Amino acid sequence: MNWGQLKAQGAKYVHRKDIDWDAAQNLLAGDLDSRLDTVINEGVGQLTPATAAGIPGAWSAPVPTNFARVKSVMVGSDEVLPSSETVFFTRPDKARYFAQVGLELFFGRSNPAIMLYAKRVQLMTSDSDENVEAKYYPHMYLYGLVTHANKLIQDFEATSLHESTFEAALGAANAAKDEMRFSSGLGPVLVGVNAR
């Protein structure tokens, strides 16, 4: 569905006509940036860490411009694990970890890294705009939009009514990740330090 179609459909589920659909979409995008876990919003990027000025034994690299959150990071053939920034900078085994500080990732070694990350939802602005989330999961996007629009106008009864449909559609989208990634007969292969 394009942005015009989504707003027209959404208006059928909201009892007021003065809805700020752009604000509702911003709220939905933030929600999806942190919770949508599908193949369609994934990206892969190579990071080339550089010396982190003034921090001994630490190297840093900026995240991509469309970055929402880290899903996994490989350095060489090892998956490095997330660490809080306060622990990372003082830990003796920091080569096995990474920490995110703002829009930079910090590493305990200088080797190039490959990051699998969730991309930010691309906001639609004109009525003919489309984004990948609304294309693949229009039901989820519509009910997420309606849920957030009802939250904006503080219609808590309508919010609870539509939120369960949104949550179910989001759960179904997340559950379908492996079905999209792996064809028949092909299953996931674990690699790195956590492989068993």
Q: Give the contacts of 162 (CB within 8 A, at least 6 positions apart).
A: 13, 143, 146, 147, 150
End-to-end CA distance of the chain: 42
SS3 111: coil
* 52 or 160: which leads in pLDDT: 160
* Angle, CA of 4, 9 and 14, to the nearest 5°: 115
pLDDT, mean over the chain: 91
Task: Determine the Cα–Cα distance for residues 173 and 106; give it in Å rounded to an integer.
Answer: 31
Task: Determine the Cα–Cα distance for residues 69 and 82; give it in Å rounded to an integer.
Answer: 12
pLDDT of 89-121, one tens digit each?
999 999 999 999 999 999 999 999 999 999 999
* 179 or 79: which leads in pLDDT: 79
Parse the chain into domains and list their residue ranges: 3-40+123-181, 42-119
Task: Determine the Cα–Cα distance for residues 21 and 76; give it in Å rounded to an integer.
Answer: 45
Question: What is the average per-residue pLDDT within 17-28?
Answer: 96
Task: Determine the Cα–Cα distance for residues 7 and 154; give it in Å rounded to an integer.
Answer: 18
